[in-house]
Chain A
Amino acid sequence: AQKVTQAQTEISVVEKEDVTLDCVYETRDTTYYLFWYKQPPSGELVFLIRRNSFDEQNEISGRYSWNFQKSTSSFNFTITASQVVDSAVYFCALSELTSGTYKYIFGTGTRLKVLA
């Protein structure tokens, strides 16, 4: 069965600190997809990144970077030089083929508070 674990319920950092949000997943499939979404205080969920299971290359987008390691079933998200605007709940999600359709499962989210 598919499962996504975000063990960190809440993290607080001071502005300009680096922070890593952990995501560990379970799946029996060899083909699957991983995602990160951001939910700022305004409430709307925003897509950040999509990664398929065959692409283990790490990705960097500005201050954001993602480390995908199949060996440890992890897809961690790092924010470098955090800013107050990064304060949000971040969700990791896994999608795998089940009964002919891709099904999403979201982790429980990590609330990040960046203090000025």
Chain B
Amino acid sequence: DSGVTQTPKHLITATGQRVTLRCSPRSGDLSVYWYQQSLDQGLQFLIQYYNGEERAKGNILERFSAQQFPDLHSELNLSSLELGDSALYFCASSVDSRSSSYEQYFGPGTRLTVT
């Protein structure tokens, strides 16, 4: 158990809909990362938050947005869903420092199926 929790585990929704994925980082970790993993694909970095502020952006679509709340949990919002958005969405957290880079601990993922 990595200590990172994600809900829900599975989500099935229709095209055009909006969903929210939730993540709670490991105790003490201030950084949260979101990744998308499509079938048989690698990990695509979407966005990183540090202590409530956006720190880095990857290949995140404009239809997607995220935020990190004062209690450090994070939510990833996906809107106007398309079939191609079907994927496994991972959240990860890490101890963060501007002077070093640390390993990320991943949650179990949310499997999103868009029909």
Report which A residues bind B (CB closer than 8 A). 32-33, 35, 37, 43-47, 50, 52, 91, 95-98, 100-109
Contact = CB atoms under 8 A, between A and B. Distances in A.
Majority-rule SS of A interface residues: strand
A93 to B, nearest CB: 8
Interface stretch (B63-71, B75-83, B99-107): B99-107
7 contacts: A96-B101, A100-B98, A101-B50, A103-B45, A106-B42, A106-B45, A107-B42
Contacts of A46: 2, 106
B103 A50 contact: yes
B68 to A, nearest CB: 15
Given A44-B2, A47-B105, A101-B56, A109 B98 contact: no
A101 B43 contact: no
Contact of A101 (B42, B55, B90): B55
Interface string B86-108: 00101010000010111111111
Nearest to A48: B103
Contact of A44 (B48, B56, B106): B106
Contacts of B50: 101
B107 A44 contact: yes
Given A101-B98, A105-B45, A43 B108 contact: yes
Interface in B8-64: 33, 41-43, 45, 48, 50, 55-56
Given A95-B101, A101-B98, A102-B98, 16 more contacts: A35-B103, A43-B88, A43-B109, A44-B2, A44-B106, A44-B107, A45-B43, A45-B92, A46-B2, A50-B103, A52-B100, A97-B101, A101-B48, A101-B56, A102-B101, A108-B41
B104 A104 contact: yes
